[in-house]
Chain A
């Protein structure tokens, strides 16, 4: 069974540009979450989608957005990139949103903003 797949793995963008990251969850999983990991702030929750609906949202500015498609694949978009957006973006999937459900993480997309 394939794991959580994130593309691209590495990318470099310039300040002011926008970026779209993609996540394919484990087959059959309907929940997809996104996290930002930086040395200074650690792992921070961005948002969660379940069956194409945003269920939870973290404390990030509106420049960060996401969506989920009918096949459960998800994308997140960051507009007007800032240097501080340089981070590892992790996608996680789960079969449901039940209490304590096992959450599986992808290997992440490394974003560098220059």
Chain B
């Protein structure tokens, strides 16, 4: 079975500062990875995904993530955050042959302060 660990439940950061949200996964088979964002009272919006190839993946809203197979990590980064980035961020993993079933981490609440 696969699992996802998001090490930080909350990350406070000042506006225009860089941020990194950490995600580690565990799986015995090949995986593909996603980051989703959830704004209050809304569903999940896809930020980016990694399937294969280049380990640096760029997404929407200036976010990017780097896949590191040896460290089984898929950390999300943004060089300069904005107040509007305040939201909960979820890392998720799917496996080949698993259809569209995703296993999610517990989420990281990003709070951007002035």
Contact = CB atoms under 8 A, between A and B. Distances in A.
Contacts of B101: 33, 45, 48, 56, 58
A62 interface: no
A78 to B, nearest CB: 19
A45 B49 contact: no
Interface string B83-99: 00000001010101111
Contacts of A94: 100
B19 to A, nearest CB: 21
Given A48-B99, A97-B100, A103 B43 contact: no
A45 B99 contact: no
A91 B76 CA distance: 24
Greatest chain A CB density within 10 A among B32, B90, B96, B101 is at B101
Interface stretch (A12-20, A67-75, A104-112): A104-112
Contacts of A1: none
Range for the number of chain B residues in contact with chain A = 20 to 34
Interface in B52-73: none
Interface string B39-52: 00111111001010
Interface string A87-105: 0001010100101111111
Nearest to B105: A42
A60 B10 CA distance: 28
Given A99-B32, A99-B51, A55 B43 contact: no
A42 B106 contact: yes
A43 interface: yes
Given A43-B92, A102-B46, A107-B42, 18 more contacts: A4-B43, A31-B99, A31-B100, A42-B104, A42-B105, A43-B107, A44-B104, A45-B102, A50-B99, A56-B101, A92-B44, A92-B100, A101-B100, A102-B49, A103-B34, A103-B46, A105-B43, A105-B44
Interface of B: 32, 34, 36, 41-46, 49, 51, 90, 92, 94, 96-107
Q: Which 3 A-B pairs have the closest CB atoms?
A: A100-B51, A43-B104, A100-B32
